Amino acid sequence: MRGIGRVLVIVYAVMALGATGRSFVQIARAFDQAPLAYTLSALSAVVYIVATLALILSGRPGWYRVAWVAIAFELVGVLVVGTLSLTHPSLFQHPTVWSQFGSGYIFIPLVLPLFGLWWLIAHRPSARPAEILPEGPTA
């Protein structure tokens, strides 16, 4: 992985660390104050970790699909949580990584999955040619 792909993985790794740290502190300090928001922060951390690993391993069988699922889930999560945090602020009295479309993270959570999906489209793993079997009877 080179160039923009490497930058993408680094940004995902930073988001994974940030979301993990944030959710850990939120859950340890005051989970009872905002269980939905803090659970969503933990979920976003898991999604960023899975997306980071899947992008790194996206050239291997199966991991490309895992990357697609994780990043598409991330985009849906950002859009749903972002919308709900604006339309139903009582649900999100405490901020999450994805609330207000990631405004607490300079909107990186909103833009990152778009770049991630673009990168996956542009860097599909090449199909491996079928192995040539020797002709003739097999023993």
| Angstrom distance (rounded) from CA 109 to CA 106 | 8
The pLDDT score that the predictor gives to residue 112 is 97
The pLDDT score that the predictor gives to residue 3 is 86
The pLDDT score that the predictor gives to residue 54 is 96
Low-confidence ranges of the chain (pLDDT < 50): 132
The pLDDT score that the predictor gives to residue 127 is 57
H or E element at residue 22: helix 4-30
The pLDDT score that the predictor gives to residue 123 is 87
The pLDDT score that the predictor gives to residue 59 is 85
The pLDDT score that the predictor gives to residue 135 is 60
